[in-house]
Amino acid sequence: MNVLIIGSGGREHALAWKIAASPLLTKLYAAPGNPGIAGEAELVPISPDDHGAIVDFSRERSIDLVVVGPEAPLVAGLGDRLRDAGIRVFGGSAAAARLEGSKGFTKDLCARYGIPTAAYGRFSDVAAAKAYVREKGAPIVVKADGLAAGKGVTVAMSLEEALSAVDACFDGSFGAAGAEVVVEEFLEGEEASFFCLCDGATALPFGSAQDHKRVGDGDTGPNTGGMGAYSPAPVMTPEMVERTMKEIVGPTMRGMADLGCPFSGVLFAGLMISEAGPKLIEYNVRFGDPECQVLMMRLKDDILVLMLAAADGQLAHMSVRWRDEAALTVVLAARGYPGTPEKGSVIRGVDAAASGGVEVFHAGTALKDGNLVAAGGRVLNVTATGRTVAEAQAKAYAAVDRIDWPGGFCRRDIGWRAVEREKAGA
Ligand code: AMP
Ligand code: GLY
């Protein structure tokens, strides 16, 4: 079977690594991929935005499955384009990708189907948005409606901060994504990332993880795409998974089918867990990055079999098995991230770090004059497993310390919440 992966991040490297282990695979391609993915797949210089070229390539090379990693091509309709051309795809339609592409769409779906989420208002007018912010008071959360590369959300602790976030949205800081604004209630609790594989009708729970969004140790500093993750998330107990399926994912699947856009691919629910139960913060229509890296390390089953079942509407017959181990990944980022990362610094020692069961997934890397260099913000994901999160953490940081990269940095406390729990329980 020939498979094409779309994307070039750590998430796609982890998917390529896992797909490459499938006995069903004949040939793996990645467009455009990265130097790490090149170890698993043949790289094809096609942009994820060039849907016509992706369809042509898939036909020429008899691709049996296209796996779409990031959200932007899905929101832009790549899934529809491939399906219309008769090519099998793991990833949803543009109409279904509104779950990530429009926060207002998702909030309205929640309201209609009684899905627990933060109370909210939708605004396309600056005065009305500010009046709502003043009425509710801080803390409060201001979000650009559309895709803003993870930068459109302000968790405002003061009224002034909230009002200037409203201004930032409407003055074009987030482009078209900010033409509409969602203002919502500040939720308290513990965050978890929860995943389901979906085939339009069935949603199959596919594990949990906890991300670390802030750039600095102790969850300080600005938000990032994610500085590290571990799986499973202890807060997602079997009872919490059951409630999430019943109260959040189930009604979402039914709602999307009712609206004529049944959901397929990966449904990634960003949850806030409190004593009252799970609440939906947001949906994504793809795997999390770096959450995918830890899920792939723990997955016992053949990911290709599961993706094919999702694409073919056969998930009702499937189950998922996980290794009885924790996995943890540490993101190494280029200095300057999440602002302007410094590019071009040389990275050494990656092969030495990737030994003894540790995997180093590449994100923003490039090859220059025979050297591996930084080419983006988040650059490497050092990923290990262990009997406990503490053990996985120790292995991951030992491997991080074998990497010689003065131009990079990482958080030193990935997994702290779970490690503290483990200590308390020991
Ligand atoms: P998002 O880009 O929607 O994932 O939001 C980024 C981060 O902002 C989330 O991971 C949460 O940490 C935080 N956040 C978003 N919405 C809320 C909310 N209603 N209450 C508290 N925190 C939130
Ligand atoms: N790590 C969070 C995300 O992928 O959105």
> Does a structural domain hold residue 10?
yes
Question: Structural domain of residue 9, as residue ranges?
Answer: 2-93
* Closest ligand relative to 151 C-alpha: 1
Judged against a pLDDT cut of 80, whether residue 330 lies above it is answered with yes
Same domain, 293 and 206: yes
Judged against a pLDDT cut of 70, whether residue 150 lies above it is answered with no
Q: Who lines ligand 2 at CB under 6 A?
A: 211, 225-226, 284, 288-289, 291
Same domain, 202 and 266: yes
> Does a structural domain hold residue 345?
yes
Judged against a pLDDT cut of 80, whether residue 178 lies above it is answered with no
CATH value at residue 395:
3.90.600.10
Judged against a pLDDT cut of 90, whether residue 171 lies above it is answered with no
Residue among 195, 106, 93 nearest 147 (CA): 106
Which pLDDT band, with edges at 50, 70 and 90, does 179 fall under?
Answer: confident
Chain segment 37-85, per-residue pLDDT in tens: 999 999 999 999 999 999 999 999 999 999 999 999 999 999 999 999 9
CATH value at residue 301:
3.30.470.20
For residue 402, the CA-to-ligand 2 centroid distance in Å is: 26
For residue 155, the CA-to-ligand 1 centroid distance in Å is: 7
> Does a structural domain hold residue 110?
no
Mean pLDDT of 320-327: 97
The three-state secondary structure class of 6 is strand
For residue 95, the CA-to-ligand 1 centroid distance in Å is: 23
Judged against a pLDDT cut of 80, whether residue 139 lies above it is answered with yes
Mean pLDDT of 200-209: 98
CA dist., res. 352 & res. 372, Å (int): 14
Quote the number of domains for the chain. Answer: 4
To the nearest whole number, what is the mean pLDDT of the chain?
Answer: 95
Same domain, 304 and 370: no
Which pLDDT band, with edges at 50, 70 and 90, does 153 fall under?
Answer: confident
Nearest CA, atom 5, ligand 2:
288
* Closest ligand relative to 222 C-alpha: 1
Kindly state the percentage of the chain with pLDDT values over 90.
89
Judged against a pLDDT cut of 80, whether residue 280 lies above it is answered with yes
Judged against a pLDDT cut of 80, whether residue 177 lies above it is answered with no
Mean pLDDT of 130-156: 85
Mean pLDDT of 129-136: 93
- Residue 223's CB is within 10 A of a number of other CB atoms, namely 15
Is residue 193 within 8 A of residue 270, CB to CB? The reply is yes
Of the three residues 298, 317, 336, the one that is the final residue of a domain is 317
Nearest ligand 2 atom, CA 284: 5
- Pocket perturbation via mutation, ligand 1, pick of 145, 219, 281 by most ligand atoms within 8 A of CB: 281
Nearest CA, atom 4, ligand 2:
288
Nearest ligand 2 atom, CA 291: 1
User: How confident is the model at residue 148, as a pLDDT?
Assistant: 67
Name the E strands within 224-284. Answer: 228-231, 264-274, 277-284
Nearest CA, atom 13, ligand 1:
155
Q: Which amino acid is at 321?
A: R
Same domain, 203 and 286: yes
Same domain, 273 and 344: no
> Does a structural domain hold residue 106?
no
Nearest ligand 2 atom, CA 290: 1
Of the three residues 156, 185, 214, the one that is the final residue of a domain is 185
Same domain, 312 and 332: no
> Does a structural domain hold residue 194?
yes
Same domain, 215 and 128: no
> Does a structural domain hold residue 136?
yes
> Does a structural domain hold residue 102?
no
> Does a structural domain hold residue 354?
yes
Chain segment 343-377, per-residue pLDDT in tens: 999 999 999 999 888 999 999 999 999 999 999 99
